[in-house]
């Protein structure tokens, strides 16, 4: 690990004032410290946010909920209002990492998790456009069993590893950020970036911006939702494929649907065409299967991850069945 200076911020304004291109914000540190230990991240200054008052979880007058950026993942998943209004989010968070990690990891930090592509995580590999732009992509012709089937580019085929973010995408959360020029709101759909020809840039945060909260709009999906995670072992493992599925039912008819996939792209992948297919229909096994087929439309497999296309299709079908109680 490289030597670094440690600073403690007392409030958001102080943190934003202190940050520079040489520094990183430190919250739970569950990903950042690992990356510093293996030499992927080398900040010269860490600005500790843990004394900044951004951990509240509060109901909003519009029926939504505001999750503080520094609320711990455990506290968020187990909060009574999250469990009652957004069980999809609670399920997704609790499927990730381990209890110890969830006790430390924060909501803001979870949004900023970096890919676990092994070529990215180990500077011993020389080829990784995300870690060292212009060096190539070791995964393209190498180990790519866990990599993307949607939205990848010739420069990077990594996936975003968060479970929480998949539920946030399905729930159409918005991210509140503060910077030198004030506060702005980023739609969850616009927060993470596909790799294109700049895979080294994970998000649309501007330099020096601080995530202060995640806002959830009022949701009609609490009664019929399911987070399905398919992985190599039953706990403490990243998703090969995951699905956040939610249905708003009007009697026996689907009024609207939300589907987002994890483990398939460098951002949570909303399957909006599949959602449209479901709207106004009666839930049947055949309909959910058709939605599964639609959700992987345009998928491209690499040498080691062709199984993910069928897996994603079936996971969508199963998650919808579990959410809707049919099929």
Q: By the criterion CB under 6 A, which residues form the site for ligand SF4?
A: 115, 117, 119-120, 128-130, 137-139, 156-158, 199
Nearer CB in complex with ligand SF4: 276/300: 300
Of the pair 28, 199, the CB lying nearest ligand SF4 is at: 199
Closest approach, Cβ 245 to ligand SF4, in A, equals: 27
Three-state DSSP state, 327: coil
In the complex, the smallest distance separating the C-beta of residue 186 from ligand SF4, rounded to whole angstroms, is 23
Chain-centroid distance of CA 54 in Å reads 20
We find the least distance from the C-beta atom of residue 158 to ligand SF4, in angstroms, to be 4
Beta bridge partners of 186: 175
CA distance 67 to 80: 13
**Strand pairing category for 65-68 and 210-216:** antiparallel
Give yes or no for a contact between 240 and 230, defined as CB atoms under 8 angstroms apart: yes
- Min separation Cβ 308 and ligand SF4, Å: 14
- Shortest reach from residue 129's CB to ligand SF4, in Å: 4
Chain position carrying tokens 């616009």:
190
Closest to ligand SF4 by CB, 4 or 143: 143
Closer to ligand SF4 at the Cβ: 83 or 145? 145
Task: Kindly give, in sequence order, each residue whose CB lies less than 8 Å from that of residue 52, ignoring residues fewer than 6 positions away.
Answer: 9, 10, 11, 12, 15, 70
> Toward ligand SF4, which CB reaches closer, 102 or 130?
130
Output the smallest distance, CB 175 to ligand SF4, in A: 23
| 63 φψ region: left (φ > 0), alpha (ψ -120 to 50), beta (else) | left
CB of 50 to ligand SF4, least distance (A): 29
Task: Give the shortest CB-120-to-ligand SF4 separation in angstroms.
Answer: 4
- Residue 221 dihedral angles phi and psi, to the nearest 5°: -105, 5
Contact by Cβ (8 Å): 123, 38: yes
Pick left, alpha or beta for residue 316 (phi over 0 → left; psi -120 to 50 → alpha; otherwise beta): alpha
Q: Which of 140, 117, 148 is nearest to 130 (CA)?
A: 117
Which residue, among 145, 96, 88, 195, has the nearest Cα to 311 in the 3D structure?
145
Specify the residue, 139 or 244, whose C-beta has the smaller distance to ligand SF4. 139
Which is nearer to ligand SF4, 95 or 129 (by Cβ)? 129
Distance of alpha carbon 171 from alpha carbon 185, whole angstroms: 16
Q: Which is nearer to ligand SF4, 84 or 126 (CB)?
A: 126
Residue 287 has which token pair?
């309909």
Which residues make Cβ contacts (< 8 Å) with residue 323, sequence separation at least 6? 224, 225, 226, 245, 246, 247
Minimum distance of ligand SF4 from residue 30's CB (angstroms): 19
Nearer to ligand SF4 by Cβ, of 14 and 118: the residue is 118
Dist CA 25 CA 5 (whole Å): 12
């Amino acid at each position: 690990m490289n030597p670094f200076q440690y600073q403690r911020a007392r409030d958001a304004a102080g943190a934003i004032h202190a940050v520079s291109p040489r520094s990183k914000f430190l919250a739970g540190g569950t990903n950042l410290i690992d990356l510093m230990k293996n030499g992927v991240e080398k900040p010269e200054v860490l600005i500790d946010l843990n004394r900044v008052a951004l951990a509240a979880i509060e109901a909003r007058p519009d029926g939504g909920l505001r999750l503080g950026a520094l609320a711990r993942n455990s506290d968020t998943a187990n909060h009574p209002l999250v469990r009652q209004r957004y069980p999809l989010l609670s399920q997704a968070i609790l499927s990730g990492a381990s209890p110890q990690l969830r006790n430390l990891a924060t909501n803001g930090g979870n949004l900023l998790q970096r890919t676990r592509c092994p070529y990215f995580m180990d500077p011993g590999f020389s080829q990784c456009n995300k870690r060292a732009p212009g060096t190539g992509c070791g995964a393209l012709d190498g180990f790519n069993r866990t990599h993307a089937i949607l939205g990848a580019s010739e420069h990077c085929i990594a996936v975003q590893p968060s479970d929480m973010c998949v539920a946030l995408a399905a729930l159409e959360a918005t991210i509140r950020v503060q910077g030198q020029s004030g506060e702005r709101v980023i739609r969850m759909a616009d927060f993470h970036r596909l790799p294109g020809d700049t895979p080294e840039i994970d998000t649309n945060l501007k330099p020096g911006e601080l995530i202060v909260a995640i806002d959830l709009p009022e949701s009609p999906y609490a009664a019929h939702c399911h987070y399905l995670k398919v992985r190599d072992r039953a706990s403490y493992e990243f998703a090969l494929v995951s699905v956040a599925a939610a249905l708003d039912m009007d009697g026996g008819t689907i009024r609207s649907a939300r589907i987002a996939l994890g483990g398939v792209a460098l951002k949570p992948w909303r399957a909006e065409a599949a959602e449209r297919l479901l709207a106004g229909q009666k839930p049947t096994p055949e309909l959910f299967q058709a939605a599964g087929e639609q959700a992987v439309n345009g998928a491209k497999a690499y040498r080691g991850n062709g199984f993910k296309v069928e897996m994603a299709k079936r996971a969508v079908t199963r998650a919808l069945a579990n959410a809707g109680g049919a099929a």
